[in-house]
Structure 1
Amino acid sequence: MLLDFPLSIIAASLLAFFVSYFSIVWLIKRKNASVLDYPNSRSLHTVPVPRVGGVGLLFGALSVWIAFSAVLPVPVWLGIIALSVISFVDDIWSMPVGYRLFVHTLTALGFCITLLLDAYGWLPVMICALAVIWTSNLFNFMDGSDGLAGGMVLVGFGYYGLAAYLSGNVNFALVNFSLAAASLGFLFHNFYPARIFLGDVGAVPLGYFAAVMGLLGWINDLWSLWLPLLIFSPFIADATATLIKRSFRGEKIWMAHREHYYQRMVQSGFGHRNTALLGYGLMLIVGACALWVNNQDMNIQFMAAAIWGFIYLGLMLMADLGKKPYSGDI
């Protein structure tokens, strides 16, 4: 199968991996107090760790897109610039939530209005904009355990790339495979014990990419909307269920906490490594299912999504009815 891939995709992926890997090596060596993530009562790490790994990951992917003249809509480029800047500033100086959410909203609306309004009208635009905003933030919420978010990016965009290639769109396949490869370069430094974190500068833009790449594939008839929803459903299910529960309890949903299911797994004694490996297995299985149902009748796609919904519900109920998480050393 690899031999059938265009050389442009292989070359772009290799370049994205090496640029990301060595950029992050440089970032790790240049430790600075302003970009260190210091442990607190809500952290799952115990020593200060650099939190700008997303800079190297994004540099690996975006530089390859430019080098290979990847074609993407202008709103995507503008959106990623705006999100990267505001997120990097937040990593250093902790921007107020309102400022960040304002930029997230502008980028989501800019993308959805430009690409969806004429064909679909205002209601789908608003629904999709909310989805983009939520996905941008949920990646940040789920980036709290060594290797987990990096693996989600690797698997998720790897499946996007494969789906695009199977649909005959080499340019879009190159874009997504490059993101996956750059994530692999990051993952070499982020897998337990992590020497660097994504930070907001990585997590927020990658969440944005997960949403807009999924929508672009749908707009260009490469896949149905079920494919991106299923591929990233492990993150979507955990973050959304946790948000709803905290909202019902009247808690400030934007405040850092340790109540996500993956965080509770780490605290229970399962550890960062095993949590990440279990997550990878789940992501691979659900992604393969998404790729398969993409070519099936819409009723089958809906049924597959419903089945996975019940699986997640069952797993969460088991976790909620189980023992309280262990709060000692991790």
Structure 2
Amino acid sequence: MPLSFLDAAPLIAAILVAAVAFAACTLILQTLVRSGLAWRLATDIPNERSLHERPTPRVGGWGIVPVAVIAILATAPSMWLVAACAVFLAAVSQIDDRRGLPARARFAAHLVAVVIVIVAHPADVPWWALAVVGFLMLWLVNLYNFMDGSDGLAGGMALFGFGGYAIAALAGPASDRPLGLASAGIAGAAAGFLTLNFHPARIFLGDAGSIPLGFLAGALGYWGWQRGVWPVWFPALVFSPFIGDASVTLLRRLARGEKFWQAHREHYYQRMVRLGMGHALTALVWYLLMLAGIILANWALRFSFMGQWIAVAGWAAVVVAAGAAVDVHWRRHETRHPEQS
């Protein structure tokens, strides 16, 4: 729904929450970088599959997660279990950033967090529907990590995605506003991270940031659906560019018998960077695509049931067309420069 639908008071409150979160996250991350502690916590070493050339600290989660958790507890205390699970995933992921963990251990932690939230707050739907939603939440946790590979991309998706959640929740009744304020706080923290992550990036998100963010995207989306704030399609439409890119890439790799969890450079955003668009322009194109989807998602909340699903199908066609355009340019690039493929 448009901002004109929001009362002044909740909108001002959301802006204040986002501003405080922005300032807090920026301060934490600036301190880590200036003190040199950032490099000792976790550092990304480039390899042949990286889009970067210099070692870079992976400490974005050290700013985003504590600020996001405090924002949730302060504005939506009933979501304390979601906040606790985000902290748990951040701790496990920090171990992975520092020392590395087997894929099965990481996946088990993700599964535990998702199951805890669904079991503690079950939606009034058949068990199989909860299982499907749980699988989608689990996928969102992992795809956020897959999509964290280009300057400004994952942080920008968090800023826009949680901002979209905030607008939808704040436009509803007063009972929905805690979710909106919590979402605004996470969006503000993501904006603070972007001050150091937009190209040229001085820090990366790291698993300790991307995994909790993916979990929160799924958990808050589930929370809003379970409480009737928005339909089940809304979170998927808000994060559709991320979901589309990661899902198509995964299916392609599985079809070739490859291990989808291993590092690679086949995502659409990676190919856009390698085609010469660079990190900054690639991020901006993705921002515009996601912003358009968020505007449509909030607008479609006022449609009839059939109209909503027509909007979802129409936007899916747009995302597919955008991916097809990248595929066409990439095939031409492979023909001209096979050594770079």
The normalised TM-score by structure 1 is 0.94
The residue that corresponds to 1:4 in the other structure is 8
Q: Where in structure 2 are the equivalents of 1:51-200 lying within 5 Å?
A: 51-66=58-73, 68-116=74-122, 119-168=124-173, 169-200=176-207
- Cα distance between partner residues in 2 of 1:69 and 1:275: 34
Aligned AA (1:135): L
The residue that corresponds to 2:218 in the other structure is 211
The 1:327–1:264 alpha-carbon spacing in structure 2 relative to 1, beyond 3 Å, is: farther
State the Cα deviation string for residues 163-219 of structure 1 (Å, max 9, x = none). 100012221111000000111100011000000011001101111111111111111
Higher mean displacement: 150-159 or 53-62: 53-62
The residue that corresponds to 1:315 in the other structure is 322
Alpha carbons 1:267, 1:327 under 8 Å: kept: no
- Cα distance between partner residues in 2 of 1:278 and 1:211: 24
- Cα distance between partner residues in 2 of 1:120 and 1:65: 26
The residue that corresponds to 1:273 in the other structure is 280
Structure 2: gaps of 5 or more residues: none
Aligned AA (1:199): G
The 1:48–1:78 alpha-carbon spacing in structure 2 relative to 1, beyond 3 Å, is: same
Alpha carbons 1:267, 1:328 under 8 Å: kept: no
Matched, 1:18 2:23: yes
The 1:164–1:41 alpha-carbon spacing in structure 2 relative to 1, beyond 3 Å, is: same
Deviation at 1:124, TM superposition (A): 1.5
- Cα distance between partner residues in 1 of 2:303 and 2:78: 28
Higher mean displacement: 301-310 or 281-290: 301-310
Higher mean displacement: 93-102 or 163-172: 163-172
Higher mean displacement: 144-153 or 107-116: 107-116
The residue that corresponds to 1:243 in the other structure is 250
Percent identical pairs in the alignment equals: 38
The residue that corresponds to 1:201 in the other structure is 208
- Cα distance between partner residues in 2 of 1:19 and 1:63: 11
The 1:3–1:21 alpha-carbon spacing in structure 2 relative to 1, beyond 3 Å, is: farther
Structure 1: gaps of 5 or more residues: none
- Cα distance between partner residues in 1 of 2:235 and 2:107: 23
Higher mean displacement: 197-206 or 31-40: 31-40
The 1:327–1:198 alpha-carbon spacing in structure 2 relative to 1, beyond 3 Å, is: farther
The 1:296–1:259 alpha-carbon spacing in structure 2 relative to 1, beyond 3 Å, is: same
Deviation at 1:114, TM superposition (A): 2.1
Deviation at 1:64, TM superposition (A): 3.1
Kindly report the root-mean-square deviation, in angstroms, between the aligned alpha carbons of the 2 structures. Answer: 1.9
Aligned AA (2:19): L
- Cα distance between partner residues in 1 of 2:266 and 2:57: 23
Deviation at 1:52, TM superposition (A): 1.2
Deviation at 1:74, TM superposition (A): 4.3
- Size of the aligned set, in residue pairs, is 327
Q: Secondary structure at the match of 2:333?
A: coil
The 1:64–1:76 alpha-carbon spacing in structure 2 relative to 1, beyond 3 Å, is: closer
Deviation at 1:16, TM superposition (A): 0.6
Aligned AA (2:142): N
The normalised TM-score by structure 2 is 0.91
Alpha carbons 1:15, 1:60 under 8 Å: kept: no
The 1:74–1:13 alpha-carbon spacing in structure 2 relative to 1, beyond 3 Å, is: closer
The 1:34–1:222 alpha-carbon spacing in structure 2 relative to 1, beyond 3 Å, is: closer
Alpha carbons 2:38, 2:58 under 8 Å: kept: no
Higher mean displacement: 305-314 or 226-235: 305-314
- Cα distance between partner residues in 1 of 2:156 and 2:72: 21
- Cα distance between partner residues in 2 of 1:215 and 1:146: 28
- Cα distance between partner residues in 2 of 1:131 and 1:327: 36
Aligned AA (1:137): N
Alpha carbons 2:170, 2:180 under 8 Å: kept: yes
- Cα distance between partner residues in 2 of 1:246 and 1:182: 33
Alpha carbons 1:136, 1:205 under 8 Å: kept: yes
The residue that corresponds to 2:333 in the other structure is 324
- Cα distance between partner residues in 1 of 2:83 and 2:22: 21
